[in-house]
Amino acid sequence: MGAAYFYHLTERPLEATLPVLIGKALEAGWRVTVRGRDDALLERLDKHLWQGDGFLPHGRSGGPHDADQPVLLTTGDAANNATCLMSVGGADIAAAEVQSSDRACVLFDGADEAALEHARNQWRNLTEAGVSAQYWAEEAGRWTKKAESGGG
């Protein structure tokens, strides 16, 4: 059974944090789905993953090889047998998805009050459904675990 890790972005933007987390997930042998609600955000992330500091193999959903992608960017369901689901831009993750994965990551902008409230609601919904969760915040360039819930 997986766990949900919440990442409160306060020092580095999504474009800097997401590639690091994807890299760690791939090192763990996981397939990754990055779910967003906004095609424009996914397009920006797609370009960054191709042109960023280090190449990360990935694809956008809707192509003929979605199931083969080690990392798939989508606004829908995981179509690549992902074992790690990452939520960006306020995309929802269901408790059943977390429980059937190795890890779910919720990345949210600490400077956006609506994003903070959405993350709080996701935390509450997931933990009330029995999902284990951890809350991580950036402090002086390092991630610090601030809270943990065993779920239920």
Q: What CATH number labels 3-149? A: 3.40.50.10110
* pLDDT attached to residue 140: 87
Distances (CA, A) of 26 to 20, 30, 54: 10, 5, 13
Q: Are 70 and 79 in contact, with CB atoms under 8 Å apart?
A: no
User: Which secondary-structure segment (H or E) carries 76?
Assistant: none
* pLDDT attached to residue 152: 56
- Alpha-carbon distance 130 to 72, whole Å? 27
* pLDDT attached to residue 78: 83
pLDDT tens, 105-125? 999 999 999 999 999 999 999
Task: Please tell me the number of Cα atoms within 13 Å of 32 on its side-chain side.
Answer: 26
* pLDDT attached to residue 52: 61
pLDDT at 1 over 80: no
- Alpha-carbon distance 34 to 137, whole Å? 20
Average pLDDT value for residue range 34-54: 86
pLDDT at 62 over 90: no
* pLDDT attached to residue 120: 96
Q: pTM to 2 decimals?
A: 0.92
* pLDDT attached to residue 90: 96
pLDDT tens, 123-136? 999 999 999 999 99
Q: Are 92 and 28 in contact, with CB atoms under 8 Å apart?
A: no
State what percent of residues in the chain have pLDDT above 70. 96
- Pairing relationship of beta strands 84-87 and 103-109 according to DSSP bridges: parallel
Q: Which residues pair with 33 in a beta bridge?
A: 72, 85
